[in-house]
Amino acid sequence: MSDLTPQIPAFVLTRPQMGENIGAAARAMWNFGLDHMRIVAPRDGWPNPAAVAMASGAGRLLDTATLCADLPEALGDCDFVFATTARQRDLTKPIFSPEAAMEETAARIAQGQRVAVLFGPERAGLENDDIARANAIISVPVNPQFASLNLAQCVLLVGYEWRRASAEVTARSTEMAGTDWAKGQDIEALASHYEERLETAGFFFPDHKITSMKLNLRNMWSRLPLTRADVQMLHGMMRQMVRWKERD
DSSP labels for 85-106? ESS--SS---EE-HHHHHHHHH
Q: What is the pLDDT of residue 4?
A: 54
Reply yes or no on domain 10-168 having CATH 3.10.450.50.
no
How much is the pLDDT for 3?
57
Residue % of the chain over a pLDDT of 70: 92
Contact 95, 139 (CB under 8 A): yes
User: So where are the chain's domains?
Assistant: 10-168, 184-247
- The contacts of residue 176 (CB under 8 Å, 6+ apart) are 227
pTM: 0.82
Alpha-carbon distance values, 213 to 91, 136, 206, 245 (Å):
12, 19, 10, 23
Predicted confidence at residue 217, as pLDDT, reads 93
Residues 6+ apart with CB under 8 A from 155: 11, 25, 28, 29, 119
Tell me whether the omega of the peptide bond preceding residue 206 falls within 30 degrees of 0, making it cis.
yes
> Which pLDDT score, from 0 to 100, does residue 6 have?
63
Burial of 160 from C-beta contacts in 10 A (0-12 / 13-18 / 19+): middle
Q: What is the pLDDT of residues 180-190, one digit of tens each?
A: 889 999 999 99
User: In sequence order, which residues have a C-beta less than 8 Å from that of residue 92 and are 6 or more positions away?
Assistant: 219, 223
Nearest alpha-carbon partner for 102 in 3, 202, 169: 169
Query: Cα–Cα distance between 193 and 73 in angstroms, integer?
Result: 17
| Phi, psi (degrees; rounded to nearest 5) at 170 | -120, 125
**Comparing 68-72, 89-93, 110-114, which segment has the lowest mean pLDDT?**
89-93
